[in-house]
Structure 1
C-alpha cells in the first residue's frame, strides 16, 4: 500500500447529512487557490431529498498546484452524478460494474497514467453519519473550474421530526455563499424551524406557500455576507440545521403512487398519547471491559441514571454488564417502580467498573434468555421487547467468531431459529475499537439499528437520542398488504411487508412497484396496546410531474438498500449472491453508485480542462497544509446517477472496498471515490486541472 512521505493539504467539502457531527477546525495559509462561489440547494418532496453542490474555484498561481481535500456525504446517500465544467467542455462520469472499472483503472496505469484516489477514512473521529473521502488532485495554473456533485437520500423520522443538517466546515470567507432549501409535502407543516451556523438561533418559520397541486411548501434561503462570515472567530463550527414536523395523517398513513406503477406508503401513529403507548421489556447490556476505563465508564454511569429515570411505571427492565463474564442486575425483569429504579442506579454506580476482556456472546445470550421467562404468548403481542447493547470493542474471550455469535443469537432469538425475532437488538458502537461491521449486521439481522458514538463527549447525547427513538413502542407485528385494481401485489414487488415494532415517534416506509396506472390500495394489520387493529381506509395520493419522478427514484433507492441489507445479513452464500446480483442489476440499470458499482470518467484530457492557457507541461508542487474547504450540497430533480460505491479489486498498493472512479487516457488522470471500510493511503496524481477545492 502506497503511503505519502509528507503531509498534504487537507480540504473539507461542505457537508449535507442527517446526523450531528463535530469537525475539528483546520487552518490554512494558502491564498493561491480561491473559492469564488459555493451554492447549496436542497429540494425535498415526499421526504426524498435531491442534493446539488456547485462550486467555482480559481487557481491564481502561474504553475500547477497539487493539493488534497476531503469529500463528505451522508452514509445513507447515493451519489447521482459527478461532473467538471470548463469554458469548453463538461466531463460527466458514467457508472460501471466495479470489476470493469477496476480493469480500466489497471489499463490506465499500464499506459503510464498517474493514479489518484478518493478514499474513505475510518481512523478519524469525525466520521459519524457520513462517509469521508480523501482526494488528491493537480489544479492547473490560472484556471477556473466548476465542480458539481449530486446525490439523493430519503429523510427518516426520528423523535417525531424530520431533520437535515448542513455543514460548511470552513474557517475561510467565501465571497458568494448561498444555501437554499425547499420542502414540499401533502401534509401541512406542524412545526418548521432552522438554525444558521453563525449565530445558532432557532428561527421558527411560519410563512408557507401552496402549489397548484395542493402541496404545502416551506422555503429557506441564507446568503451570509463576507462581514457576517468574518465575524465568527472559529468559522462555521455549527451546522445549518432544519427540523420540521408534519401534521399526523389519518389512521394508516398515506400512500403515494404514480402513473408508472411505483408507490410508497408512509405509516406512523397519529398520536403519542401516554395511555396508548405499549408497555415494554428492555434489557440494557453494557460493556465494562478494560478499554472502557476512565471517562467512558463514568459517562455510561451518568447516562444510565438519566435513562432509568425515563422508564414508565408500566415498563419492565433489567441490566446486564459484561467483561470476561456476564452478570445481570436481577434474574428476571423488574417493574420500573421508584424503588427498583433506585436499586438499579445503585447497581450501575457500584458495579459498572472497567476491567477485563470482552465476552459479547455470553452477554447477548443472557440478555435474550430473559424474554422467555415471564410472559404468556398472548401477552407477547402487546408489549415491546428490546435489547440495547453497548460496546467499545470486539469479542476477545468466550465465543469470538462473529458468525458463531450471530448463529447463537438466532438460535434463541428467532422463532424456530429461522424467523425474526423475539426481541429487537439495538447496538451502540462506542469509539474506534468497536467492530462496527459486526454490530451493524447483528442489529439489522434482529430488526434493530446501529448507533455510532465517536467519542466520550457525544456518548451521553447519542445514547439518550437512541433511547428517545425506542422508548415508546406503539404498534407490533405490523403487516402490509397491497392490491392493484383489487389484485394482490406479490411480496417480491414490495421492499418489505412485515415489521416487528414501531415507536410512536417514528415511521415505516414501504415502497413497491406494479403495472402502470393501477389504483393502489393498502391494508395494515398490527397489534396495539390492548388489541389487534386493522387499517383499510388509507389515504392515497396520485403524484404528478416532479413528484412522479421522485417517487420512481425513491422506489429504486429503497429497493437497492433492501437488497444490500439482505446480502449483508444472509448466512447462505446462494441467497447472498442472489441479493447482490439483483442489487447490481438495479444499480446499473438506474445509474446508482452502490457497493457493487463504480462511477467512471473515461473521457479526459488536460488540454481540455483549462479555460486560461497554462503550462503545457505540469510543474506541480505539493503544499504542506491542512484545512477545511468549502464544498456544499444541494438538490435538483433531474439527476439520475447514484452513489455509494465499492471497489475491492485494485492495484497491489491500493486497498479499497468501494469507489467512484475517474479514468483518463495517456494524458489523463484517474480518480477513485472509495467508500470502503478499510483505511487507504493517498496515491500520487496528476488529474483534472481544476477541482473544487479550498485551502485552510
Structure 2
C-alpha cells in the first residue's frame, strides 16, 4: 500500500491519451489471457479442489480433470401388465472448460426405448430416430460446430451409452429417456426390475486363427469388437459411491393388491385405494450400485391365468396375451436325468456372490435323485470339472461334490466358453436321459454373441437353466441363453432368497413343461405374432405373446400338450382391455426374436438386419442398428475453445470385491474396465482426515493440442505487461503546445 501511495505522489497527471491506451492494453491483455486459458478444462491437483469432486487422471503427470457430475431420477408408471419408465439424467459440468459427457448405463433387456429428450434451460429438444451410423454422423457434426447435442446408442439390449456434447463451464444439461416394458408374472407374483449399474465385464482376448489369407496365413478374430464401448471406469467403493439416484413408482395393478414389497431398497408407500399405490425411496436417494426390484401379489389366492389387451394405432390393432398354463401333469414316472452344474468362480463373483452361488449349488446337488447322473464344472481363467464325465448320484459322489463346492473361491478371469462347451458335450453315456444344464453366474462378460452361437450349435437336446447371481447380473445374457436352451432364468440377489428361488427352480427341473405351444387366431385374420416359435412353458411361468392382428371378433386360442394330454384356453377378442404402448412392445418382441434367429445362424445375417432396421425405424425404437439423436440449432461453444471428453465413472455393484475384480494393485488381468481411485474431498487438508487419496492409477485422457498451464501463464504475463505499460504512460508528461 505504501509503495502504491508513493508512486501516485510522484507521478504527474495522466494524459487522456495515455490513460486510454494503457487501459486498452491492460483490458486486451486480460481478455486475451482469460480467453486463451479457458479454451480447455483446467487441470488440477487433488489439493486444488475446493468442493467435493471426482477427479480423473489426465495425461499430464500429477494433474486431474473433474468428472461430470451425474444425478439420476427414475419415474416408473405401472398400469396393469405394462410399465412406462422415464429416466432423467442431469449432467453438470463442474469445470471451467467445455466438456463432452459420456455415460454407460443399463436398462431392462426387454425395454422398448423410444424417447430421447434434451432440456436446455426452458427448452426441450426431441430426439429423432436414425440409422445408427447416420445418427452418429449427425452428432459428430453438431459437436464439431459447437452445438449442444445428445446421442443414445444401444451397446447390448440391456446396455446403452448416452453422449452429451458441448456442456459449458458450470452448466447443467438434462436428458430424459423413456421406455416401455411388460411386468413379469411368475408363480402368482408380479414383479418389475430396474437395473442401476453395469457390472465390470470380462472381455476375452482376440483370437489368432490360421487361415488362407495370402502370405500372412492367419487372421485375428475379436469376440468383443466393441470392448472399449462397454468398459467405462469403475470407482473403488472404499473411496465412496457416485451417481446418486432417486426413484418413484406409481402402481395401478388393476386388481386389489395383497403383498407389496421392494426387495432390496426400503420404500415409503402411500396407498390411494386397494388397487393403487405411490412408492418413493425411504432414503430419498441411493447410490446406483444394485438392481431395484418391486413385487406384488393379488389379494386373491391366485393371479389371473389369462388376459388379453389391445392398442389401436393408425387403425391397426395390436394385442398382448398373457397366459399361465396349469402345472404339467406327469403321465409317467419322471425320466432319469443327466445334470451338469456350471459355477462361475471368476473375480467378479467375489464377496457376496460366491457365497450365494456355493449355497445354491450345494442345495441343488442335495436334491439329486438316486437315478440321476451329474457333474460339476467350475471356471474362471481356466475350467475344472469335478469328474471326467457325469457320474451316478450316489451318496459318496454327492458328499464329494458338496465338499468340493464348499472350497471354491472366486479369482481370475471369466473364460466362460470352454466351460460351456464341456457342459454341452455328449459323453455318449446319457442312455436316453433328460439332459439339463444349470448355469450359475453373474454373466459379467462381453462376448455374449459368441456364447449364443455356441449354445445354438452344441446344445442338441440339452435344456439350459440360468441362475443369475448377485446385485447386478447381466440379465440379457442370462435370459437369452435360457431362451436358446429352452429353459428358464432365475435371479438370486441375496442369500436370504436362495432357498425360495432355488426351490422354485427345482420344481421346474423336476416337472415336465407344457410343450407344442401354439396360438390360433380367428379364421381368415392376418396375424404376425412374437416370439416365434413359441417356447415351452414351465411350472409357474407365464407365456407373453405380442401380435399385430386384423381380428376384431371371435376367440384367440392358446394350446399345447400338458404331459401327453391336450390343453387349450380361449380369449374373446372383443373383451380385450385397452392399454397404451402395446405396439411398441410388439416391435420390441419382434426385434428380440429376429436377434435370436441371428444367433441360431439359421438365417442370413443381412436379411435379419434389414428386418430389424425397418421395424425399429417404423416404431421409433433404439436397437442395435438404430439410435436416437437430439441437436440444438444454436452453437454455444466459442470458436477455438477445446472440447474435452470424460466418461462418467460407475459404482462397483453392491457385494462385489474390488480387489477380486481388478486385483489388489488396481488392475484386472484383462483390463476390461479402468478402476478409478481418485476422489477429492471438500476443502482437503493435506495432513488431516479429509486429505485426498493418493492415486496410483486413474483414467488416461487424450493429449490436448496445447498445455493449459502454459496458456494460463501466458495470459497472466500479458495482464502484467498491460499494467506495466499503463504505469509507464502515467510517468510521461504531455509536451507543451
The TM-score, its normalising length taken from structure 1, stands at 0.60
Alpha-carbon distance between aligned partners in 2 of 1:602 and 1:279, rounded to the nearest angstrom? 61
Q: Please name the residue that 1:567 is paired with.
A: 598
Alpha-carbon distance between aligned partners in 2 of 1:535 and 1:191, rounded to the nearest angstrom? 31
* 1:244 matched to 2:272: no
| Gap runs ≥5 in structure 2 | 1-40, 47-51, 56-64, 198-239, 652-698, 705-737
Which SS does the other structure have where 2:184 is aligned?
coil
Q: Please name the residue that 1:308 is paired with.
A: 365
Alpha-carbon distance between aligned partners in 2 of 1:109 and 1:178, rounded to the nearest angstrom? 30
Aligned match of 1:321 in 370, 373, 377?
A: 377
Alpha-carbon distance between aligned partners in 2 of 1:541 and 1:487, rounded to the nearest angstrom? 16
For the Cα contact (< 8 Å) 1:38–1:178, is it kept in 2?
yes
* 1:164 matched to 2:219: no
Aligned match of 2:133 in 95, 99, 102?
A: 99
Alpha-carbon distance between aligned partners in 2 of 1:252 and 1:391, rounded to the nearest angstrom? 31
Q: Please name the residue that 1:15 is paired with.
A: none
Aligned match of 2:250 in 165, 182, 193?
A: 182
Alpha-carbon distance between aligned partners in 2 of 1:219 and 1:72, rounded to the nearest angstrom? 28
Displacement of 1:590 in angstroms is: 0.6
For the Cα contact (< 8 Å) 2:340–2:423, is it kept in 1?
no
Displacement of 1:387 in angstroms is: 1.0
For the Cα contact (< 8 Å) 1:252–1:536, is it kept in 2?
no
Alpha-carbon distance between aligned partners in 2 of 1:42 and 1:301, rounded to the nearest angstrom? 34
Cα deviation, 1:7-39, whole Å, max 9, x if unaligned, reads 999xxxxxxxxxxxxxxxx9659999998x975
Which SS does the other structure have where 1:587 is aligned?
helix
Displacement of 1:252 in angstroms is: 5.4
Q: Please name the residue that 1:281 is paired with.
A: 337
For the Cα contact (< 8 Å) 1:278–1:472, is it kept in 2?
no
Which SS does the other structure have where 2:191 is aligned?
strand
Cα deviation, 1:67-106, whole Å, max 9, x if unaligned, reads 6463523141232211123356432211111233345456
Alpha-carbon distance between aligned partners in 1 of 2:547 and 2:112, rounded to the nearest angstrom? 19
Superposed, 1:476-555 pairs within 5 Å as 476-487=513-524, 492-504=528-540, 506-515=541-550, 517-528=552-563, 531-538=564-571, 542-543=575-576, 547=579, 549-555=580-586
For the Cα contact (< 8 Å) 1:8–1:623, is it kept in 2?
no
Cα deviation, 1:220-277, whole Å, max 9, x if unaligned, reads 14387xxx65xx9x86777664211245768852233345432222122467999999
Alpha-carbon distance between aligned partners in 2 of 1:570 and 1:269, rounded to the nearest angstrom? 31
Displacement of 1:109 in angstroms is: 8.0
* 1:193 matched to 2:261: yes
Which SS does the other structure have where 1:191 is aligned?
strand
Check 1:327–1:459 CA distance in 2 against 1; reply closer, same or farther (3 A cut).
farther
Alpha-carbon distance between aligned partners in 2 of 1:460 and 1:446, rounded to the nearest angstrom? 26
Check 1:628–1:441 CA distance in 2 against 1; reply closer, same or farther (3 A cut).
closer
* 1:409 matched to 2:458: yes
For the Cα contact (< 8 Å) 1:159–1:468, is it kept in 2?
no
Alpha-carbon distance between aligned partners in 2 of 1:494 and 1:120, rounded to the nearest angstrom? 21
* 1:363 matched to 2:422: yes
| Gap runs ≥5 in structure 1 | 10-25, 123-128, 210-216, 396-400, 414-421, 608-614, 630-679, 686-696
Check 1:540–1:463 CA distance in 2 against 1; reply closer, same or farther (3 A cut).
farther
Which SS does the other structure have where 1:517 is aligned?
coil
For the Cα contact (< 8 Å) 2:546–2:589, is it kept in 1?
yes
Displacement of 1:196 in angstroms is: 8.4
Check 1:101–1:443 CA distance in 2 against 1; reply closer, same or farther (3 A cut).
same
Displacement of 1:289 in angstroms is: 9.2
* 1:254 matched to 2:282: no
Which SS does the other structure have where 2:628 is aligned?
strand
For the Cα contact (< 8 Å) 1:255–1:541, is it kept in 2?
no
Superposed, 1:501-650 pairs within 5 Å as 501-504=537-540, 506-515=541-550, 517-528=552-563, 531-538=564-571, 542-543=575-576, 547=579, 549-572=580-603, 574=604, 576-607=605-636
Displacement of 1:478 in angstroms is: 2.8
Cα deviation, 1:378-409, whole Å, max 9, x if unaligned, reads xx7xxxx52113579999xxxxx979955762
Check 1:594–1:368 CA distance in 2 against 1; reply closer, same or farther (3 A cut).
farther
Which SS does the other structure have where 1:509 is aligned?
strand
Check 1:7–1:348 CA distance in 2 against 1; reply closer, same or farther (3 A cut).
farther
* 1:266 matched to 2:322: yes
Displacement of 1:148 in angstroms is: 1.9
Give the number of the structure whose alpha-carbon radius of gyration is greater. 2
Q: Please name the residue that 1:44 is paired with.
A: 78
For the Cα contact (< 8 Å) 2:75–2:248, is it kept in 1?
yes
Displacement of 1:587 in angstroms is: 0.3
Displacement of 1:564 in angstroms is: 1.8
| Two-structure CA RMSD over aligned residues (Å) | 5.8
